[in-house]
Structure 1
Amino acid sequence: MPDDHPACRCVICHDYGDRDEADRMDLRTVDQIQEHGWSVVMVPADDEGPGFAYTIGLWHTHGVPELAMFGLDIETMHIMLNALGHQAAAGAVLENGRTCHDVIEGRPVILKAADLRWYREFFGRAISFYRRPPFPVLQVVWPDAKGRFLWQPGAEEHYLQSQPQLWLKPTEHPDGVWATLATG
Structure 2
Amino acid sequence: MNQVGSLCRCILCHDYGDSGDRHPMELTTIRHVQQHGWGVTTIPEDDKGPGWAYTIGLWHTHRMPELAIFGLDVELSQMSLNELGDRASDGVALEAEQARDDAIKGYQVHLKSIDYRWYKAFFGRAIAFYRRPPIPFLQVVWPDRQGRFHWDSDNDAQLHRRQPQLWNRPDDHPAGVWTQDL
- When normalised by structure 1's length, the TM-score is 0.95
**Structure 2 regions of 5+ residues with no counterpart?**
none
Aligned to 1:112, the other structure's residue is in SS state strand
Q: Distance in 2 between matches of 1:155 and 1:179?
A: 21
The answer (yes or no) to whether the contact 2:4–2:60 under 8 Å persists in 1 is no
Q: Any idea what SS the aligned residue of 1:79 has?
A: helix
Residue in structure 1 matched with residue 16 of structure 2 by the alignment: 16
Aligned residues: 182
Runs (4 or more) in structure 1 with deviation over 3 Å come to 1-6
Q: What is aligned with 1:82?
A: 82
Q: Could you tell me which residue of structure 2 aligns to residue 60 of structure 1?
A: 60
Query: How far is the alpha carbon of 1:27 from its aligned partner?
Result: 0.5
Residue 165 of structure 1 is matched in structure 2 by 165
CA distance in 1, matches of 2:118, 2:66: 14
1:5 shift after superposition = 7.7
Structure 1: runs of 5+ lacking an equivalent: none
2:62 counterpart letter in structure 1:
H
Any residues of structure 2 matched to 1:104-119 within 5 Å, and which?
Answer: 104-119=104-119
The amino acid of 1:142's aligned partner reads W
Work out the CA distance in 2 between the residues paired with 1:101 and 1:43.
Answer: 24
For the residue of structure 2 that corresponds to 1:68, the secondary structure is: strand
Give CA-to-partner distance per residue, 1:118-152, whole Å, 9 cap, x none: 00000000000000211000000000001000111
Deviation at 1:6, TM superposition (A): 7.1
Give 1:70's aligned residue. Answer: 70
Q: CA RMSD in A?
A: 1.4
Change (3 A) 1:2 1:150: farther
SS in 1 for 2:165: coil
Structure 1 residues 99, 26: CA separation in 2 closer, same or farther (over 3 Å shift)? same
1:171 partner letter = D
- How far has the Cα of 1:103 moved from its partner? 1.6
